[in-house]
Amino acid sequence: MIQPASPGQGAHQSRLRELNLATVVRALFAESPLSRAEVAVRTGLTRSTVSRLVDDLIAGGLVAELAPTGTGGRGRPGVPIVPARGTWVGVGLEVNIGHSAVRLIDLAGDVVAEHVVQADHTGSDPHRTLSEVSELARDLLAGTSTTAAVAGVGLALPGLVDTERGELLRAPNLGWGVVPAAQIVSASFGGDRPVRVGNEADFAALTVARLAPGRPSQRSDFLYVSGEVGIGSALVRGSEWVAGRHGWAGEVGHICVDPDGLTCGCGARGCLETVAGQRALHAAAGVESREELLARLAAGDRTAIAAVEAAGHALGLALSGALNLLDISVVVLGGHLGELSAQLMPTLSQELELRVLASPFDPPQVEPLVIDRSPAATGAALAALEGVLRDPASWISVPSVGAGGA
């Protein structure tokens, strides 16, 4: 006679199934398309277990089958499995000094819809601004033809963020103090989806570290430096950003490059962003926009050239210290720093070569990010989706009996 499983055994089987589902999802999202047989080889699970788990993932809208191609062993056609398109979306929100952005991205990494609004948020009311960008996201969701469900919301902000509590602690360039950002955005979405709040540079760095949700890029270890009005940065190791104990790591923009320099928005003197930040750089060059700065540089304007050289020098000082401390040799420049990388490089490279101790053995590499005015919105959406990939069992409504064994 078959004995029923004890409660402890049932809990064990349930937990084993959750772990195995996550293992299969990691394999499918890291490299696709894969057949069930290929997933079994990569994970060490039996083919029958993988088949049942994949069926659950298909039913839950996390993965999808393509048309059979070739043979998948023993003469049977192999059925490629890929991340599902248009079933679940991550909502990426970004509020920065000069713009707001919303980007909807599905599990395949496709941009379903997006909207960017140019606006000066300096000194704005945080509750009103966050409610407005949330409303923009809801309108975008309502206006698309997709029937995808919202997996989660990511919110990128330019300041010091308590990632555990979802609070913005300080954003000097916005003029915002302690703001319960996750609570405000969650209320706007009805409180039924998780909201992940992070620093804009951290989320932007995720777009460099990922080709799509769960799929690492070739850049696995680098320092991302984001340039807008302020300057932020994020350290990425093993394709994951290093947040630090409190989630505050990466404030390169507030490294001192001149103790007697200008007063920064944070209250200190001589921070990097007082020289290389976009607003400071434009003021020093006597221009109003990036386009005007580039035109002046092309025309050989001495004031503009001197301003960029000073910015490259200051950036070199700050990055040299960071690279020496972190043992990182790749720097990715985003925002206006990425756009000006060719003009910054002569002075910046000179400083890095002189000051980075490991440069004779592993010369620092500086790479511009492909121009995207709101990479943090993309990263915020990816972060929201990766919550699904970490715990796929919670997003599947049709469990498969007996899918826990290996």
CB 270 within 8 A of CB 277: no
**202 & 229 share domain:** no
Give pLDDT, residue 75: 54
**199 & 338 share domain:** no
Query: Domain total for the chain?
Result: 3
Q: Is residue 397 assigned to a domain?
A: no
- Containing domain of residue 120, as a range? 88-208+374-389
Q: What does the angle CA 57 – CA 63 – CA 67 come to, to the nearest 5 degrees?
A: 120
Q: Is residue 359 assigned to a domain?
A: yes
Q: How far apart are the C-alpha atoms of 285 and 208, rounded to whole Å?
A: 30
**258 & 302 share domain:** yes
**199 & 253 share domain:** no
**173 & 98 share domain:** yes
Q: How far apart are the C-alpha atoms of 405 and 20, rounded to whole Å?
A: 8
Helix residue ranges per DSSP H, 31-78: 36-43, 47-59
Give pLDDT, residue 2: 35
User: In the chain, what are the helix, strand and coil shares in percent, each to the nearest 5?
Assistant: 40, 20, 35
Q: How far apart are the C-alpha atoms of 15 and 397, rounded to whole Å?
A: 16
**Positions of E strands within 171-230:** 195-199, 210-212, 215-216, 222-227
Give pLDDT, residue 144: 82
Residue 402 in 3-state DSSP? coil
- Parallel, antiparallel, or unpaired for β 167-170 and 160-162? antiparallel
Q: Is residue 395 assigned to a domain?
A: no
Residue 110 in 3-state DSSP? coil
Give pLDDT, residue 373: 76
What is the separation of C-alpha 236 from the centre of its chain, rounded to a whole number of angstroms? 11
Global pTM reads: 0.87
Return per-residue pLDDT of the chain as tens, 406 residues.
334 445 555 556 778 889 999 999 999 999 889 999 999 999 999 999 999 999 999 999 999 999 887 654 555 667 999 999 999 999 999 999 889 999 999 999 999 999 999 999 999 999 999 999 999 999 999 888 778 899 999 999 998 999 889 999 999 889 999 999 999 999 988 877 889 999 999 999 999 999 999 999 999 899 999 887 789 899 999 888 887 777 777 788 899 999 999 998 888 999 999 999 999 999 999 999 889 999 999 999 999 999 999 999 999 999 999 999 999 999 999 988 998 999 999 999 999 999 999 999 999 999 998 767 789 999 999 999 988 999 999 888 634 433 444 4
**Positions of E strands within 96-144:** 99-106, 111-118
**167 & 97 share domain:** yes
**225 & 353 share domain:** yes
CB 112 within 8 A of CB 218: no
Q: Is residue 394 assigned to a domain?
A: no
What is the separation of C-alpha 39 from the centre of its chain, rounded to a whole number of angstroms? 27
Strand order in the sheet with 149-157: 111-118, 99-106, 88-95, 149-157, 195-199
Q: Is residue 121 assigned to a domain?
A: yes
- The CA-atom distances, in angstroms, between 46 and each of 30, 57, 81 are 19, 16, 17
Which residues make beta-bridge pairs with 102? 93, 115
Tokens representing 320? 């040299």
Give pLDDT, residue 344: 94
Give pLDDT, residue 321: 93
Residue 299 in 3-state DSSP? coil
Tell me, what CATH number does 333's domain have?
A: 3.30.420.40
Tokens representing 168? 């913005």
**145 & 238 share domain:** no
CB 40 within 8 A of CB 46: yes
Strand order in the sheet with 365-368: 240-242, 231-237, 222-227, 330-334, 365-368
Q: Is residue 343 assigned to a domain?
A: yes
For residue 33, whether the previous peptide bond is cis, meaning omega lies within 30 degrees of 0, is yes
CB 325 within 8 A of CB 292: no
Tokens representing 42? 């990569």
